[in-house]
Structure 1
């Protein structure tokens, strides 16, 4: 996590804490609907903290991917596609959008894409 992400995460946690404290005050002294509203609003910055950490993980993964040695003439896109195809379960799974598996596939459980 870089400095700006860390700063934003701290700001989000502080905001979430203050919103939860406001919700507690509303539950005690104010209308119930306002307490529910502040409780829901207190969850939003928590989602933002998770989002910042995911973005940091993606940045690290991209840095590792770009630093990896590639074959002569191979582009980064080729490396990404090769990795995705290697992670695919089987050919039928790939062509049926994750709903079917080949008979020899070790992951035969049917997964619905819907």
Structure 2
């Protein structure tokens, strides 16, 4: 979670606590409708704080997935390059694969 999101969550928590205090003060003074409104607003502020935590977790998970996909793509391209470069080498023909002189891109047949 980045610092701005953390600060926003703290602000939501403080607003939620203040609204809960206003709800209790209104209920003691006899303003039940105001108390219900403040309590509902306090719940909404708490839900907003929870939403920020969930969004931060989703951003972190998306970053991890993107990093893994990038690493896999790099590994696949490296494997393709290694297989392409190894076409005419002696070890390639000794691994049970016969050399195809018609489709060889390097045209240097090492027997």
TM-score, normalised with respect to structure 1: 0.60
Partner of 2:47: 47
Unaligned runs of 5+ in 1: 74-114
Partner of 1:28: 28
Aligned length, in residue pairs = 73
1:18-44 superposed Cα distances (whole Å, 9 cap, x missing partner): 000000000001411111111001001
Which structure 1 residue ranges, 4+ long, deviate > 3 Å from structure 2? none
* RCO comparison, higher one (Cα < 8 Å, 6+): 2
Partner of 1:4: 4
Max Rg structure = 2
The Cα shift of 1:8 comes to: 0.3
Note the 1:75-90 alignment, pairs <5 A.
Answer: none
Residues of 2 paired with 1:63 and 1:34: CA distance? Answer: 43
TM-score, normalised with respect to structure 2: 0.62
1:45-79 superposed Cα distances (whole Å, 9 cap, x missing partner): 11111111111111111111111122447xxxxxx
Unaligned runs of 5+ in 2: 78-111
Structure richer in helix, relative to its length: 2
Partner of 1:16: 16
Residues of 2 paired with 1:19 and 1:33: CA distance? Answer: 14
